[in-house]
Amino acid sequence: MSRSPGRKQENHKISRELFVLTYGALVAQLCKDYEKDEDVNACLDRMGYSIGIRLIDDFLARSAVKKCRSYSETADMIAQVAFKMYLGVTPSVSCSSAAGNEFSLILDKNPLVDFVEELPVERASLCYCNLLCGVIRGALEMVHLAAEVSFLQDRLKGDAVTEIGITFLRKPEDRKHRR
C-alpha cells in the first residue's frame, strides 16, 4: 500500500498539537507543585537544559550543518534551522550589542502557546515557555558555547512580541580550538 502524500504532514500536525497540550499540562502541574513562579521558571529551565544537551546530537545529525564561525552565524542557525526543524517557526534575529555577542530571537508565532489565552493574574511572573531558554542554553553548552538565555518580552504578558535574548559569555577569540 502506498501512503498519500499529505499523510506525513497530518501526523506532524497531530504530534505538534499533542506536544503543545502535553506541555501545557506539564506547566499546569508545576504550578500546582510550586507556590512561587520563580521555582516553576527554574524547573522549566532545568528541564529544557536537560533536553537541550540531548537534542543537540539529533540536531547535528539531522541538519548536517557546518561549524558556525561567529556568534551571528550561530544565532541565525538557531533561528533558521533549529526552530524551524523542531517547532515549525522561524524567528527573526537581531543583534543587540556592539560587541556582537547579544542577540534577540523574535517570534511572531510561538507554537507552545497555541492553546493559552493569557496567564492567570496570580502567576504574573511565570515564564510559561522558559523550557525554550533551557533547551537553547543546554544545546549551546554542548558545542562549547556558554550563554545566558532569557525571555525579554512575552505576548502572554501583554508585550507586542515574544523575544528571547541570547548573550554569549565568551569573547569570539576565546573560542579557538586546537587542530
pTM for the full predicted model: 0.86
Residue 141 has pLDDT above 50, yes or no: yes
Provide the pairing of β-strand 162-168 with 102-107: antiparallel
Q: Which fold has domain 16-168?
A: Muramoyl-pentapeptide Carboxypeptidase; domain 2 (3.30.1380)
Q: At what angle do helices 130-142 and 37-63 cross, to 10 degrees?
A: 50
Q: What is the pLDDT of residues 28-60, one digit of tens each?
A: 999 999 999 999 999 999 999 999 999 999 999
Rounded mean pLDDT of the chain?
88
Q: What is the pLDDT of residues 88-121, one digit of tens each?
A: 899 999 997 888 899 999 999 898 998 888 888 8
